[in-house]
Structure 1
Amino acid sequence: MANVANVTTMVDVGDAQLACTDVGSGSPVVWLHGSGPGATGMSNFGGNLAAFQDYRNIVVDLPGWGSSPRPDTGEPLIFDAAERVCRAMTALGIERAHLVGNSYGGAVAMRIAMRHPERVDRVVLMAPGGVLPADAPPWPVGLERLFGYMAAQKPSREAMAEFVRLMVFDETLATESLIDERYESSLRAHPELPIPPNFGDLTPDLALISAPTLLVWGREDQTVPLTWAPKILEGIPNAELRVLPNCRHWVQYERAPEFNHIVREFLQGGAAAAAEG
Structure 2
Amino acid sequence: MVSTVDVGDVRLAYTGVGSGSPVVWLHGSGPGATGMSNFGRNLPAFADFRNIVVDLPGWGSTPRPATDEPLIFHAAERVCRAMTALGIERAHLVGNSYGGGVAMRIAMRHPERVDRLVLMAPGGVLPADAPPWPVGLEHLFAYMAAEEPAREAMAEFVRLMVFDETLATDALIDERYEASLKAHPELPIPPNFGDLTPDLRLIEAPTLLVWGREDQTVPLTWAPRILHGIPNAELRVLPRCRHWVQYERAPEFNHIVREFLQGGPTAASEG
Q: TM-score, normalised by structure 1?
A: 0.95
**Residue 172 of structure 1: aligned partner:** 166
- What is the deviation of 1:271? 1.7
* Structure 1 residue ranges, 4+ long, deviating more than 4 angstroms after superposition: 272-276
- 1:57-206 aligned within 5 A: 57-190=51-184, 192-206=186-200
Equivalent residue of 2:187, what SS? Answer: coil
1:224 and 1:192 map into 2 onto residues whose CA distance is 22
Deviates most, 189-198 or 45-54? 189-198
- After superposition, what is the alpha-carbon deviation per residue over 1:242-267, rounded to whole angstroms, capped at 9, x for unaligned? 00000000000000000000000000
2:9 and 2:72 map into 1 onto residues whose CA distance is 17
Matched, 1:262 2:256: yes
- What is the deviation of 1:190? 5.0
Q: 1:116 to 1:275 in 2, by over 3 A?
A: closer
1:17 and 1:227 map into 2 onto residues whose CA distance is 37
Equivalent residue of 1:271, what SS? Answer: coil
Equivalent pair of 2:32/2:183 in contact (CA under 8 Å): no
- What is the deviation of 1:191? 5.7
Matched, 1:35 2:29: yes
- What is the deviation of 1:270? 3.9
**Residue 243 of structure 2: aligned partner:** 249
Matched, 1:236 2:230: yes
Cα RMSD (Å)? 1.4
Q: What is the number of equivalent residue pairs in this alignment?
A: 270
Equivalent pair of 1:70/1:190 in contact (CA under 8 Å): no
Instruction: List gaps (5 residues or longer) in structure 1.
Output: 1-6
Q: Which amino acid aligns with 1:165?
A: R
Instruction: List gaps (5 residues or longer) in structure 2.
Output: none
1:189 and 1:122 map into 2 onto residues whose CA distance is 31
**Residue 3 of structure 1: aligned partner:** none
**Percent of aligned positions that are identical:** 87
- What is the deviation of 1:123? 0.2
Equivalent pair of 2:60/2:183 in contact (CA under 8 Å): no
- What is the deviation of 1:15? 1.1
